[in-house]
Structure 1
Amino acid sequence: MAVVTALVLAGCKEDLPPDVDPKQVDAVEAPDLGACRLLTTDDIAQASNATKTVECSEKHTAQTYDVGSLPDALEDADYDSDEVGDFAFHQCSSAFMEYLGADESLAMRTILTWAWFRPSKPAWDDGARWYRCDVVGGNEQSKRLVDLPPDVEGLLAQTEDKWLVCAEGPTVDGSVKVPCSTAHDWRAVSTIKLGEPDDAYPGDAAAEKTTRDYCSKSVAAWLGYPVDYDYGYTWFHEAEWKAGNRRSVCWAKTSQ
């Protein structure tokens, strides 16, 4: 889908949407570090992005916090190869935590996430091998991306509810993720680490059971050990494990 879009844009630049910068569409040169953009949930689902930049003092939903070249080992990789995706996951996630001042647990409990982009397919075919990591205020399942401050560097060093992730819905599964400063039904209160980087995937059943057992105790402690309480959990499968994720998220039923 993203490849088709890139080819269409390359073929008729005079028909580009008003928020697209023609100079960025098939750019071989890497984009600017620190640039801000008004991205949408549809934008962050695409492989490449050429949205016009805006002043970071203006309304924006994304800021580029890491830009670079793919390693030489990926020079001949396919445009949508798993190897390129794995590199981006590790690079963007580690840079995300460092830039915002978050550890692994907090990085999974914030409304802020990251999206990465590569060159368009025509630019890739012309030899472009850069990547771009953007911090964004939400994810593909969000109703909309929230506005960001002029600079997000160090934003999570002192946590505020408007940057922490909560969920709206009868259950955690399928719920809409929202900032905790808005009305919500669930709050992400802790995470559990299921393994080390070199560990093999434990399997779906083991991953879910370990997550469920830990979250039951963790949420009870967070709520002050009430007699009755509801909790939820988000655990990930082998694909996410292979990409580098080793954590599950625990959710408490609460409107606070």
Structure 2
Amino acid sequence: MRLAVALTAVMVTAGCTTAPGGADGDLTDDWPPPPAPSPFRPAAHACHVRLPETASAADRPVSCDQVHVSETFHLGTAADADVPPAPGTPGARAAYRECSDAAVTFTGGQWRTARLAVHVVWPAREAWSRGARWFRCDLTQTDLDGYGRSGRSGSLEGELTRPSPLRLTCFAPTVDGGTVTAMRPVACAAKHRAEFAGLWHAPDVAYANLQAGTARAATACRSVIARFAALPDDADMQYRSGWISYNPTRTEWLAGERRVRCFLYFAERTWTRSLRGAGPSVLPAG
């Protein structure tokens, strides 16, 4: 009997546990669940050794004082969707417009009049699936055709508020059979045969149509050159100077970029001055 009573006491005691400080001893109902991890969001101002197709947490920005290829200067917020916007869609075009406008503020001038290009970098699909709804706006130092990118050191912030070697001014072109194969930037006081005159806004046509014909570009660039050089915009413009134009890249065109770069061009004559405001006496029709 004593043994039975002792065992019962032990069993009762074992079934009644207590916790210090008045806690109820339940280890699951008093702790909030851990917060869900926040989606990756890149830094708004950072430089990168390459321009990626998409961005993720694996990216490792570098100081802008180091040699880099692209610079993130703005972050935008994308509309919610199952996947990032495809090239040419309204969402992708809206992002490019925002980046383009932000680039004017960041550089302090119209970036399309310099050897610069604007790029939209979307989150990697994994980041998007976890809730990332941003897009990155990057600037690169580029060739006139928009394809070649060169490394640089130093931020592009305020670059166009001061004299800059990236501004489009005078050039020594290399022409092979009517095709411009190179445009080497030179000081306007040095011998040159081409000079940047300005931009014209192309119509919203298929990219193949833009690339195929020259009549539209010739008319538009001659008007740009006439304004630049203070010349009558008439039929005699074709006798005063030649022209060169650089279209947006196919990627830029899909994004909604329509500004075409126009240059005065002379096949044989060289200049050692700018032709801005030169007038008919310097550029006669004869």
TM-score in terms of structure 2 length = 0.58
What SS is found at the alignment partner of 1:189? strand
Deviation at 1:156, TM superposition (A): 0.8
Instruction: Please give the residue correspondences for 1:1-256 in structure 2 after superposition, counting only pairs within 5 Å.
Output: 28-39=39-50, 43=51, 46-48=53-55, 50-71=58-79, 74-78=80-84, 80=86, 82-103=89-110, 107-138=111-142, 141-142=147-148, 144-149=149-154, 151-164=155-168, 169-170=174-175, 175-176=181-182, 186-194=194-202, 204=209, 209-219=215-225, 222=228, 229-235=241-247, 243-253=255-265
Cα distance change of structure 1 residues 164 and 119 upon mapping to structure 2, 3 Å threshold = same
Deviation at 1:31, TM superposition (A): 0.4
* Count of paired positions: 215
Flag the structure with larger Rg: 2
In 1, Cα distance between equivalents of 2:78 and 2:152: 29
In 2, Cα distance between equivalents of 1:124 and 1:183: 52
Cα distance change of structure 1 residues 158 and 216 upon mapping to structure 2, 3 Å threshold = same
Partner of 2:25: none
1:92-119 Cα shifts (integer Å, max 9, x gaps) = 111111111123xxx2221111222111
In 1, Cα distance between equivalents of 2:252 and 2:69: 25
What SS is found at the alignment partner of 1:170? strand
Q: Which has more helix, going by share of residues?
A: 1
The answer (yes or no) to whether the contact 1:28–1:119 under 8 Å persists in 2 is no
TM-score in terms of structure 1 length = 0.64
What SS is found at the alignment partner of 2:74? strand
Deviation at 1:131, TM superposition (A): 0.8
Deviation at 1:176, TM superposition (A): 5.0
Deviation at 1:194, TM superposition (A): 4.6
Deviation at 1:216, TM superposition (A): 2.6
Higher RCO, 1 vs 2 (CA within 8 Å, ≥6 residues apart): 1
**Residue segments in structure 2 that go unaligned for 5+ positions in a row:** 1-37, 232-236, 273-286
RMSD: 4.1
The answer (yes or no) to whether the contact 1:100–1:154 under 8 Å persists in 2 is yes
In 2, Cα distance between equivalents of 1:90 and 1:173: 31
Partner of 1:9: none
Deviation at 1:173, TM superposition (A): 6.0
**Residue segments in structure 1 that go unaligned for 5+ positions in a row:** 1-26
